[in-house]
Structure 1
């Protein structure tokens, strides 16, 4: 961009500043965001590189300021997300009291014992589905069996585990929720 074009655009930005802020305020949602975008636009005009003369200075400045506002929004969102993650990592884990930890470990050991009571294929199908999150179709291919047989084995394995957990007094034994993709 020629020096005269830069000077002219800067003069227009200064003379029409209030109008440009109002126009940008609609897009940014705040007057502060609009003024920040225009200030950054002023700085970017110094390095702008446009060979042809600018026909509509307002449109050029507003377009440039809109791009600046979008960049600022993305940057703030990224930083805000990082700050949120840092804040969440600082929160104490209310569920990590020693009593709950011991109870959870005991439940895992109990479930391991129940799983040992399953046939090897049934146990492998259950673990592939519920732990590894494999699709029934993938399990059928892996074991060289029909999809129907996978569904049957998985259902039988779940029923077996739920019944044994219930017998051992687990109050959540009726729950079948878990990560599954069919």
Structure 2
């Protein structure tokens, strides 16, 4: 790019900055990203070599800034945000070692045996709540029982599990609950 063309484009950018940034903001969806791209455009104009002619300075500047913003978005979307980095640094390895895997399998087998000894409706209500994640009201509709019956059956099922699985820490702490709908 010749010095006169670079100077012309930079002068045009200064005189139309607010309008160009506003258009770019609508393209990229962020005022900060648009401002950053405009700043980078300014720097690149100063560093560019010879280029041909520019017929529409505004369109040229806007396209250049949009490309810069797109490149920045692509670059940043690969990187983690600051909070994710902190979370990963402090992440506990949940992948079990052989001892933990064997212990978990043993716990699951013991739980299966306890569930098999439970009355059918109680077991099905517990599974609906803790495995399927249904709300008590949804369980009541499914089994055509009252809400208080569901609550009583759940309490009884949990107490039964605690009583018959004393060596399973998750059961004793009550952490064997699955996700429940909100």
Q: Which runs of 5+ in 2 are unaligned?
A: 22-30, 49-53
Q: Which runs of 5+ in 1 are unaligned?
A: 1-8, 49-53
d(CA) in 1 for partners of 2:168, 2:78: 44
Alignment partner, residue 5 of structure 1: none
Q: Structure 1 pair 94/141, CA: closer, same or farther in 2 (3 Å)? A: closer
Task: Quote the offset at 1:164 in angstroms.
Answer: 1.1
Kindly report which structure 2 residues correspond to 1:27-176, keeping only aligned pairs within 5 A, or say none: 27-28=32-33, 34-35=39-40, 39=44, 71-80=70-79, 95-166=95-166, 169-176=167-174
Contact 1:34/1:69, CA 8 A, preserved across alignment: no
d(CA) in 1 for partners of 2:115, 2:174: 16
Q: CA RMSD in A?
A: 4.4
Q: Give the alignment's TM-score, normalised by structure 2.
A: 0.58
Contact 2:122/2:154, CA 8 A, preserved across alignment: yes
Q: Structure 1 pair 69/106, CA: closer, same or farther in 2 (3 Å)? A: same
Q: Give the alignment's TM-score, normalised by structure 1.
A: 0.58
Match of 2:9 among 13, 16, 25: 13
Instruction: Kindly provide the CA deviation profile for residues 125-173 of structure 1, in whole angstroms up to 9, marking residues without a partner as x.
Output: 100110111111111111111111111111111111112111xx23443
Instruction: Kindly provide the CA deviation profile for residues 39-92 of structure 1, in whole angstroms up to 9, marking residues without a partner as x.
Output: 59x9xxx797xxxxx9xx6xx8987777556544543343225xx9xxx8xxxx
Task: Quote the offset at 1:176 in angstroms.
Answer: 1.7
- Runs ≥4 residues deviating over 6 A: 16-20, 30-33, 60-66
Q: Structure 1 pair 33/113, CA: closer, same or farther in 2 (3 Å)? A: farther
